[in-house]
Structure 1
Amino acid sequence: MESWGFGATVRRWRDRVAPEAVGVPVGRRRRAAGLRREELAALAGISADYLTRLEQGRATAPSAQVVEALARALRINDAERDLLYRLAGHAAPGRDVVPSRVPPSVQRLLDRLAHTPVVVWDASWTLVLANAPYDALMGATTAWHGLERNAIWRNLTGRNGRVVHTPEERAGLEAGLVADLRLTVSRYPADRGLARLVGELRGCPRFPELWEAAPPAQGPARRKIIDHPAVGRITLDCDTLVVAQDDLRIMAYTAEPGTEDAERLALAIVLGTQSLV
């Protein structure tokens, strides 16, 4: 199988993915049994042009982030994921590295939340994935690269986007995120990427102080105000679900049914997903 090469492997595995299994609508005139190239690209958060070059062997050095995104979109098992990493020239992440793997069982859960704004972070608070309703609510995450994908860096540098915080809420959020990162470093002391992240964060003015501080007594506020450019301010419940075995944080944003906030959220999702098409 390894003789296929990375691009050919992705191409063959794309053909075997049933569109309905990954939430892709199937029309009557559809001829392809598996995923179309543009469909896989959209699921993985990469451009269709780049996927074309990968499959044709014209791009030969995909990043580990791209490999993981394709593995997730293709719904492959752990052994196949490890193979995909090797074909791309990377070592598969071991247990001493912060995991960013979304296992099939968790992906099925996310599929059931397809109409709810949901974002998934790893234990370093680096973005793993965001669904279309989340991007519609908060602004597109697809253009984030490098440190831009880290929630701690974004908050410490004022790039928290559309969420409205009081000074007290912001201070508590930043302290909580850094305290959680400190625990993550203690669990993954050999992760070089995590060490580089901490080194980069030390350049943020408040980070060194927060790194040495005691954890905050209270967790982050569960209700958040989103200042959406098209529909105005929306007050939402934000619940964080921790997948302990895979060290993931799933954040879901919801509103009480029948309220004005629920109506604004629905409108924001409709307007945002239309603009993302």
Structure 2
Amino acid sequence: MATRELAAFLRSRRDRIKPSDVGLPGGGRRRAPGLRRAEVALLAGISPDYYMRLEQGRTVHPSPSVLDALARALELNDDERGHLYRLAGDEPSPRPPADERVDPSVRRLLEVIGPTPAWVTNGRLDVLAWNPMAAALFCDIAELPEGRRNMLRYALCDPRARTFNVHWEEVTRHGVAQLRAATGRDPGDPATRALVRELAESSPEFRDWWERQDVKGPGIGRKEYLHPVVGRLSLDYIGMVLPGTVDHQFVTVTAEEGSPSETALAKPAAQLG
């Protein structure tokens, strides 16, 4: 499975790069606007036959130096480079803890920063823990039964999410790219594979974005929400991988000092929910 994923990932990255982007002539008839296999091999300093075997999903174990060369040739970012390495590994990456328990010290941190919405997810974006302000912000997620609290499922399958997330497509595509990274860490994880099947069956957007093979890790930036009670919120978010875990993320959102969003978040959780 990892070999097939590696082949598909290489093809997707090759297709997005134009010859002119890497200083190559773009003349001649091309089936697609991206690079040819031979051009990737040239840029990476490997034989065209070797690269062809990689893209055909044949049994090949590229060395770290070859993977580095491919990452440079395909202009991969840090998240994509890590994904490439995991897909090319001789053994699957360690599985996340099966019980998905959140360390008690992390739960205490959620309580201590109570005025700040904060929550914990795993790599496939299941919500594992949250504080009251996070429940007030994401009231639709908090209403879901245990085992169904997944940020990506909510974004793609619940119509309310498209109104709540002002920049719905940007947010959701990032989530899909994070799920793709999770499959690279453990391609055989049954829960992750079940989620991918479910979303592929229920969402045409997911099917399209999943095939693009985009890979991303936890993010940092600004998100815009349209909350059903307090209205529009502009919040800065940051996601951090927790020490001692494979992919558990601690996520917080904060408002700029003196902004209307800060005033809204200052209201008690009971008023927000």
TM-score scaled by length of structure 2: 0.55
In the alignment, structure 1 residue 104 sits paired with structure 2 residue 104: yes
Q: Secondary structure of 2:266's partner?
A: helix
- Alignment match of 2:174 (pick from 173, 176, 183): 176
- 1:8-63 Cα offsets, whole Å, 9 max, x none, are xxxxxxxxxxxxxxxxxxxxxxxxxxxxxxxxxxxxxxxxxxxxxxxxxxxxxxxx
Contact 1:201 1:207 in 2 (8 A): yes
Contact 1:228 1:268 in 2 (8 A): no
Aligned to 2:164: 163
One-letter amino acid matched to 2:113: L
- Take 1:113 and 1:219, find their aligned partners in 2: how far apart are those partners? 20
The structural deviation recorded for 1:200 is: 0.8
- Take 1:244 and 1:201, find their aligned partners in 2: how far apart are those partners? 29
Contact 1:226 1:233 in 2 (8 A): yes
One-letter amino acid matched to 2:150: N
- Cα–Cα, structure 1 residues 235 and 107, in superposed 2: closer, same or farther, change >3 Å? same
Aligned to 2:116: 116
Runs (5+) with no aligned partner, structure 2: 1-93
The structural deviation recorded for 1:263 is: 1.1
Aligned to 1:234: 233
Aligned residue runs from structure 1 range 79-94, under 5 A: none
Q: Secondary structure of 2:207's partner?
A: helix
Aligned residue runs from structure 1 range 32-181, under 5 A: 96-97=95-96, 100-139=100-139, 141-145=141-145, 148-157=148-157, 158-160=159-161, 163-166=164-167, 170-181=168-179
Aligned residue runs from structure 1 range 226-265, under 5 A: 226-243=225-242, 245-246=244-245, 247-265=247-265
* Matched residues, number: 176
- Cα–Cα, structure 1 residues 102 and 253, in superposed 2: closer, same or farther, change >3 Å? same
Aligned to 2:40: none
Contact 2:115 2:266 in 1 (8 A): no
Runs (5+) with no aligned partner, structure 1: 1-94
- Take 2:142 and 2:177, find their aligned partners in 1: how far apart are those partners? 27
- Take 2:210 and 2:165, find their aligned partners in 1: how far apart are those partners? 24
One-letter amino acid matched to 1:206: E
Range that drifts further, 115-124 or 138-147:
138-147
- Take 2:160 and 2:147, find their aligned partners in 1: how far apart are those partners? 11
- Take 2:259 and 2:170, find their aligned partners in 1: how far apart are those partners? 28
In the alignment, structure 1 residue 188 sits paired with structure 2 residue 189: no
- Cα–Cα, structure 1 residues 217 and 245, in superposed 2: closer, same or farther, change >3 Å? closer
One-letter amino acid matched to 2:123: A
The structural deviation recorded for 1:193 is: 1.8
TM-score scaled by length of structure 1: 0.55
The structural deviation recorded for 1:271 is: 0.9
RMSD, matched Cα = 2.9
- Cα–Cα, structure 1 residues 235 and 221, in superposed 2: closer, same or farther, change >3 Å? same
- Take 1:222 and 1:162, find their aligned partners in 2: how far apart are those partners? 20
Q: Secondary structure of 2:209's partner?
A: helix
